[in-house]
Chain A
Amino acid sequence: MDRDSEGLGSRLVKILMVTPYPPMRDGIATYAAQAVRQLRAEGHDVEVLSPGPSAAHYHLDLVGPRGALALGKRVPRYDKVIVQFHPDFFYPLPSSVRDRIEVSLALAASFRLAREVEVVVHEIDYRHGRLRSPDGYAARALWHSVDRILVHTEGERRDFITAFGVSSTRVLLATHGARFSRNTHHDHETARASLGVPADALMFLTIGFIQESKGFDRAILAFAGLGARGARLDVVGRSRLAEDGSGYENHVDVLAAATDGVHRHKGFVSDELFDRWIVASDVVVLPYRNVWSSGVLERASLYDKEVIATRIGGLAEQAADRPGMTFVRDDAGLRRAMWERVMGARKGLTLEPWPAEGDRLRADLQRQIRRRAAAARGSRAASAAPVGAAPDVAAARERAALVAGAVSAPVRRVGELALPPTASQRSGGALVKRVVRRLTAWELGPIVGEVNALRAATIESLESAGAQVGVAAATADDAERAVRSRGQRSAGRAAGKRGSGGPAVRTERADALDDGIACPPPRRG
């Protein structure tokens, strides 16, 4: 199916765009403003009608059948009417069956008065089309009165056609960001400087209206532990309305404040500043729980940014064939993707070559394996043993790394918590599991995320404490060795050469640490 087949061709026409509009700050308003800009640039005579006063040419309260009928009085004056559709613009909240019937029929009547109607669907409840009831028939009548319906993903298109019984030839795909243009001239470096972000930090960004469906909390929980590895997560935005979502915003604020490396930037973000944050970032995180398509994804693509996103709604389809996209299924996947991104950035860490021979080959190999694995999972202790460091520094850090790895081992062995798979051998089992997942995910998902964040924080704490113990032990060993050395010199002088027990004791302990059994063994369930 062709995208953006809006049928205007080279014909210049008079258009009425019905939409929320700047300076109201709203995703659809921004989307519409860019569409208006482009259509006018193409030479079309575009006027805008918004649901409330704005920079639009006209405004009209569109909610309810009166609003829809009032719209009908205006549409005959235009060659084409484009409606940016969200049910809340037209249907009362909450809507009764009668409301839905009245509004749908009034809109259908109004649309039939227009010469040509195109509706860009930003959100809709398909259930209303599937109903074999008067409001279902009214909804289908409404959509049959529209000449062209634009959706943003093939999935939406399929669902729309099925739900409302509209001819497939009239439901087209719009490329979400086709009309987006850049709002800032900053480059990565100047954007960071202007925002106070260090030039060398690996920066994740999650940005937009703070609401539960956007999953900002998931990004913070997934990030937990990465702050200690030099990464940062900037959480930018505010709740859409002060009177709703503030509870969730508070939750996000508390999580952000409690998580090392998370920087919370509250408040109203301009289009320019929005883009500047994206330009400054390395990776844009879209941890959405529920979304159809994403304007943030489009803006990230505009600046060729890497994106980590949950595979939800039509996002995967929206991002098809775009480089730098990573899709995850759940919180564990989100966490893994963010951690892998940080570890990937640390691949430059130079490690010693694999030991190839020697009397202690196995022990050396084991040490090397642990060191490399620790580096891969982002252990600060492991990364603190660079090749080329002074021998005494390297030795101390080596000891610290060994102890750190040993003390965290019991927790690491537990593994991350994940919701069980929904696959099943039994007939219908998978369906039941998916239904159960859908019904419970809203509650279990955050719990899983919290548990994994707690696990990560525990590992981080243990390794940090362990590294300090290791350093202290190395210092004590040095002192012990010095004492022994003095003692040996005295004893040697007194009794001649004898074998020394000191180094053997130390080696035993070091080997024990290498095996990860120096600390209390893990409980096995």
Chain B
Amino acid sequence: MCARKAAGPAPERPPMIGSRASSDRSGKLAFVPTRYAKGMVGGAELVLAQMAHGLAERGWDVEILTTCASNHWTWENELPAGDSIVDGVPVQRFPVVKEDIPERGVLEHEIMAGGVPSITEQQRWMNSGMRVPALYHHLVDHGDDYRAVLFTPYPSWVTFACAQAVPDKSVLWTCLHDEPYAYLELFQPVFTGVAGLLFQSGPEHQLAHRIADPLSPHAVVGCPVAVPKKYDPDGFRERYGIDGRFVFYTGRREGGKGWPDLLDMLARAVARSPELPFSLVTGGAGEIDAPAPIKDRVIDVGFLPDEERDNAMAAADAYMQPGRYEAFSMTIMESWLAGTPVIANGAGEVVAWHCKRSGAGLTYDDEFEFEQCLRFLAEAPEAAAELAAPGRDYVLDNYQTEHVLDRVECEIARWTGIRKGSVAGS
């Protein structure tokens, strides 16, 4: 008998509407996600775009500056360059220039292997991938039109180059991870020479201090999390033909996100404990490529609309977070809002921090701990529900969109207060 989670959690505590910070909203804000397109999967760019819309709703004059690309692997110019309006917000797209320069692969390999290329090589590495000269020159020409220009994430060429075009107006949604790139000297100007850095968590803040000195003005503001109004776990099972207990993963299925590791660990856990009742349901993008022994346990539901993703969260026994380079992990918040516990890679400093602070997640440091986490879920579903219980309050207390936007507004106002002559027309 499956210990299914029946009805979606009827939140005992309703989401709070934050008291909106009364801040000076004069001047135009530019948000510069490297990609901005319908159907984009996860990531910092999505959060930045959501933040743009959130601040536009609060009365800010907001514009989105982005590329014509939607695929962060190919960077092909799939969308037309020029102006458009998306959900009421003006969007300007600029074409990507991308050349296949073989040296990039060599240097990338060296960096990821822990090597430290010379600063000249680091610069060549940065400039040998995608570039957007037209966006850079837009900011050269029109930088004075903006009060603040918000970028993310730190290692992208767009952030690296364009933030330096308008350094005292540049605010970074840093998305700093403890990864080899972060330690490249190349990025020191990004951390030390901009108007401000927005961090999402304490570990990210601490990491920034370990990496750069002196840090630009900075603040931990969290990350905005939308609170669903309702959940329909049974409907999800029905619509996607899922029977039985499952753990869930959604997002980009790629090495950097820990997807192959998750599959390997699951395969080994199942090999040792074939009685484990779980399938692995996955939504998002990327190749599945599951090992043969667990191929039939892995169910791809493809790209899920937000509501279905939330329903899947509510239906799952646990949400799996195998990534070690998460700067925030929106998905674990969505899991906790849905009343579902999180099982996470202990090497992910930020996620481990959230798990510890919320008390609503377990972490594993090897395949045996991973297996024991699954055994716990299988054998003690009531205790697992207890484990998950504080997660929702943790999210509501810290990361409701309105609260985070309050903090972001406050910091933008602090770091980019209107200065005489600094913003055209203001």
Contact = CB atoms under 8 A, between A and B. Distances in A.
Interface string A270-295: 11111010000000000000000000
B419 A185 contact: yes
A23 interface: yes
Interface string A9-30: 0000000000000111100000
Interface residues of A, number: 35
B168 A273 contact: no
Contacts of B247: none
B84 interface: no
A37 B119 CA distance: 26
A521 B194 CA distance: 59
Contacts of B162: 55
B186 interface: yes
Interface in B110-152: 118-120, 123-124, 126-128, 131, 133, 136-137, 140-141
A425 to B, nearest CB: 52
Contacts of A241: 118-120
Contacts of B137: 40, 55, 57
A396 to B, nearest CB: 40
B188 interface: yes
A49 to B, nearest CB: 11
A499 interface: no
A22 B188 contact: no
B120 A269 contact: no
Contact of A269 (B188, B216, B419): B188
B192 A269 contact: yes
Tell which of B161, B167, B188, B419 has the most Cβ of chain A within 10 Å. B167
A25 B167 contact: no
Contact of B140 (A25, A37, A183, A194): A37
A56 interface: yes
B194 A54 contact: no
Nearest to B123: A24
B168 A183 contact: yes
Interface in B176-210: 185-186, 188-190, 192-195
B16 interface: no
B37 interface: no
B194 A243 contact: no
A184 B168 CA distance: 5
Contacts of A268: 119, 185-186, 188-189
B161 to A, nearest CB: 4
B380 interface: no
Given A272-B167, A272-B168, A242 B118 contact: yes
Contact of B192 (A24, A41, A243, A270): A270
A267 interface: yes
B14 to A, nearest CB: 41
A271 B140 contact: no
A431 to B, nearest CB: 41
Interface residues of B, number: 38
A33 B136 CA distance: 11
Contacts of B157: 23
B165 interface: yes
Contacts of B189: 25, 268-273
Contacts of B128: 53
Contacts of A274: 193
B415 to A, nearest CB: 9
Contacts of B131: 53-55
A238 B160 CA distance: 19
Tell which of B140, B162, B194 has the most Cβ of chain A within 10 Å. B140
A271 B161 CA distance: 12
> What DSSP secondary structure best describes chain A's contact surface?
loop
B165 A41 contact: no
Nearest to A183: B167
A57 B168 contact: no
A274 B133 CA distance: 24
Nearest to A36: B140
Nearest to B217: A194
Interface in B351-379: none
A52 interface: yes
A365 B313 CA distance: 89
Contacts of A270: 164, 167, 188-190, 192-194
A243 B118 contact: yes
Contacts of A271: 164, 167, 189, 193
B214 interface: yes
A241 B167 CA distance: 24
A15 to B, nearest CB: 13
Contacts of A33: 140, 165
B119 A242 contact: yes
B7 interface: no
B275 interface: no
B329 interface: no
Contacts of B195: 185
Contacts of A276: 193
A388 interface: no
Interface string A404-418: 000000000000000
Contacts of B124: 52-53
Contacts of A57: 133, 137
A496 interface: no
A23 B119 contact: no
B188 A53 contact: no
B82 to A, nearest CB: 18
A7 interface: no
Given A22-B165, A185-B419, A238-B185, 6 more contacts: A23-B164, A24-B127, A37-B141, A183-B167, A183-B168, A241-B120
Interface of A: 22-25, 33, 36-37, 40-41, 48, 52-57, 183-185, 194-196, 238, 241-243, 267-274, 276
22 contacts: A22-B165, A33-B140, A37-B141, A40-B140, A40-B141, A52-B127, A54-B131, A55-B131, A55-B165, A185-B168, A238-B119, A238-B185, A242-B119, A267-B185, A268-B119, A269-B188, A269-B189, A270-B167, A271-B164, A271-B167, A273-B192, A274-B193
The 3 A-B pairs with the shortest beta carbon distances in the complex, nearest first, are A270-B193, A270-B189, A272-B167
